[in-house]
Structure 1
Amino acid sequence: MAFLMVNVTSQAARMDMVDVSNNNGYMSTAEYTSMRNEFGVKALTVKVSEGTTFKDGYAASNIANGQAAGLYVNGYHFAHYKTKAQAIAEADFAGKTAKAAGLPVGAVLATDVESQEANNQSKATNDRNNAAFMKEIQKFGYRADIYTSGSWANSKMTIKGKTGWIAAYPYVVSGKNWYSTNHAWQWSSTAKFRISYGGFDVSQLNSNYYTAGQKSKVKPTNKGAVKANNQKANKNVSKPAASAKWVKEKKTYTLKTAVKLHTSTSTSSNTIAILPAGTTVKTDQAIIKGGYRWVRQPRFNGYGYLATGPASNTLEYVKSGATHTYYTVKYGDSWWTIAQRNGLSMTTLASQNGKSIYTTIYPSQRLVVR
């Protein structure tokens, strides 16, 4: 994500929309009603599917319970497509899955484009694939949009004004409306709600795109609580921006995918080499810089630098030669429940498995917990 410094004002970023997936577990109508009445949430965006095989098991209940609470309900699909044909296939799968889960016609069904596959594609290829997905999804009666990080918008893919749902988490939330020309700005991934467990992604809506085309009874009943809770949420993320610092990270990794080796910690710097999947890389330091997480590789004539993904993500590598304790994912598990059970944070658990907390986990999957 892109981290920018802005001036603090008294105006708080709003919690207009919350998005949920299987990581959040079962969410009741009472929880959504509390979000609406006490925090001013108007819209809900539910994960429906991923790739061409995964169907979120909580999608149907999230859609039904969100509707029962009077929220505008939308959906999103986590994309892995690398070609136009794959984009169309994923759109067909997402559309059919959304229909079966009860997503109402006229809702938004966004493509969530933040995967390693998209990271390895050119901007032109991502634009072509995204366009194919969105054109196909409209055949199911849904409206289309793209979700991606601020550091990828108009870098990894084109996001025009009056389109797009952009994620960028500031050190300081202010009255400045980030991405005001886009449909929505996701400004926090750690929002807390009174009767719900865990942190949630929340967004400010800058248009009526995610609340259009549907009937709703969205009427917060406690305006005082809405104002106070929004201000509290902003305060919780209002921390002074610290300068990025290198930290020691002497590890050996085996690359899961091809990765560019740069001359400096900038994606626009020269490429020393493209290291193919299977390459063993020894690193000595790591840093968060320019919206990316970087690791440094000592070389015979200096250093090479690997961008491992957006700063919100973790290493896309698998550590080799280590002894670990594993946990087998069971039905109903989430990053949060497994992390709590093993005394870890969700970020740490995901990181040591080479994933982010937004990556879907499946029953029978083995995760490193020690």
Structure 2
Amino acid sequence: MARETVIDLASPYQTGLTPADYRKVGAKKAIIKITEGTSYTNPDVRHLINQAAEGGVTGFSFYHFGRFQSDSQAVAEAKYFIEQAKKIVNPQPGTLMILDAEIKNMLTSSVVAFLNVLRDAGFKTGFYTYKYLLPSFNLEKIHQYMDFFWLAAYPLGDKPAGTSPDFNYFPSAPYVDAWQHTSRLLGYSLDGSITVTDNGNRLLSGPTPAQVKPAPKPQPKPQAKNTWVDDLGVKWYKEQGTFTITDPMGIWLRWGATTKSAKIAVLPRGAEVKYDAYCYSGGYVWIRQPRGNGQFGYLPTGEAKGNKRLNYWGVFK
């Protein structure tokens, strides 16, 4: 199997990483912290996703830092994790959702209770802990309720490490799918892991989550039958067609027709976008993509000067 680099993202530790930093690291998979206990939600989840995705990360999973020491509290924390995740990233059934178990005196029965809530909600379940804490858990019992096992052990301690760890120091334990081997990947304040099973590669390959609560979009004001001016003063023209991207780098689809609008996803070369209107705004020619439920995506299709197109990033038909 091909081993892959995996990164662990949380606030505030990795919020300063740029797309260029992510490209340097070269990871295609990231696991992002959503919650801790029943009162903390990561405020930077969308920022971390957007920066990582722009830097080349394509697979996203999510984790909760457990604070529970009873079965009932475990259930409450699992429900909080799911509730907050749905508000921010709306994980689809089958998404890998992981318990970070690194506090002392956490009961095996409580870990099982937590994982059961996740599994009953339709998610794949993951269990993470440190090698030194592993003897305090009944791994055979937990294994029945987890789909993914992520184990941490740092052979270099706090020293910077590369993306290819020395497997002479592999934390020998059954069922390991990914090994977190450093907290200083390439010298960054960044936990780095490596996959060791095909199961790990598959479960960590979840897609980039869509924005759940997009910023309010300009509402059109009827002006004429086939044109209107939105709240930003941009004139839109009604037109239906299909745009096929030819730019080899792809184009970002956004929740608004500005380069500062929240990103939905990068659409690759060859992707087809059906649209119902176009406009000239901010030096680009934009098209509007109907997405259902009254929502629209907005895609720049080339540069413009005023109302004159300068080039094309794709083909219209």
Contact 1:74/1:109 (8 A) holds in 2: yes
Amino acid corresponding to residue 12 of structure 2 in structure 1: N
Task: State the shift of 1:163 in Å.
Answer: 4.2
TM-score (norm 1): 0.46
- Matches of 1:127 and 1:215 in 2, distance apart? 27
Q: Which residue among 111, 123, 127 is the counterpart of 1:142?
A: 123
Tell me which residue corresponds to 2:179: 185
Q: Distance in 1 between matches of 2:200 and 2:68?
A: 24
Deviation at 1:33, TM superposition (A): 4.6
Closer, same or farther: CA 175–149 of 1 in aligned 2, 3 Å? closer
* Equivalenced residues, count: 190
On the 8 A contact 1:75/1:109 being kept in 2, the answer is yes
Per-residue Cα deviation, 1:179-217 (whole angstroms, up to 9, x for no partner)? 474111101011136xxxx42100111124444365669
CA distance in 1, matches of 2:190, 2:206: 25
Q: Is the CA contact (8 Å cut-off) linking 2:4 and 2:201 kept in structure 1?
A: no
| Cα distance in 2 between the residues matched to 1:32 and 1:99 | 28
Deviation string 1:292-331 (CA, Å, 9 cap, x unpaired) is: xxxxxxxxxxxxxxxxxxxxxxxxxxxxxxxxxxxxxxxx
Higher-Rg member (1/2) = 2
The CA RMSD measured in Å over matched residues stands at 2.9
Shift in CA distance, 33/190, structure 1 to aligned 2, threshold 3 Å: closer
Match status 1:30 vs 2:2 = no
1:199 equivalenced with 2:189 (yes/no) = yes
How far did 1:84 drift? 0.9
Q: After TM superposition, what 4+ stretches of structure 1 lie above 6 angstroms from structure 2? A: none
Q: TM-score, normalised by structure 2?
A: 0.53
Please point out which of 85, 92, 97 is paired with 1:109: 97
| Partner residue of 2:37 out of 51, 55, 67 | 51
| Structure number with higher helix proportion | 1
Change (3 A) 1:171 1:61: closer
Give 2:139's match in structure 1, choosing from 153, 159, 167: 159
Match of 1:252 in 2: none
2:76 aligns with one of 67, 73, 89: 89
**Matched-pair identity in %:** 22
Against the structure 1 CA distance between its residues 215 and 136, is the aligned structure 2 distance closer, same or farther, given a 3 Å change threshold? Answer: closer
Q: CA deviation at 1:28?
A: 6.0
1:74·1:103 contact (CA, 8 Å) conserved in 2? no
Whether 2:86 is the aligned partner of 1:99: answer yes
Residue 151 of structure 1, CA deviation: 0.8
Q: CA separation in 2, counterparts of 1:31 and 1:74?
A: 21
Could you say if the C-alpha distance between residues 188 and 109 of structure 1 is closer, same or farther in structure 2, counting changes exceeding 3 Å?
Answer: same
Shift of 1:40: 3.7
* Secondary structure of the corresponding residue to residue 66 of structure 1: helix
Q: Secondary structure at the match of 1:45?
A: strand
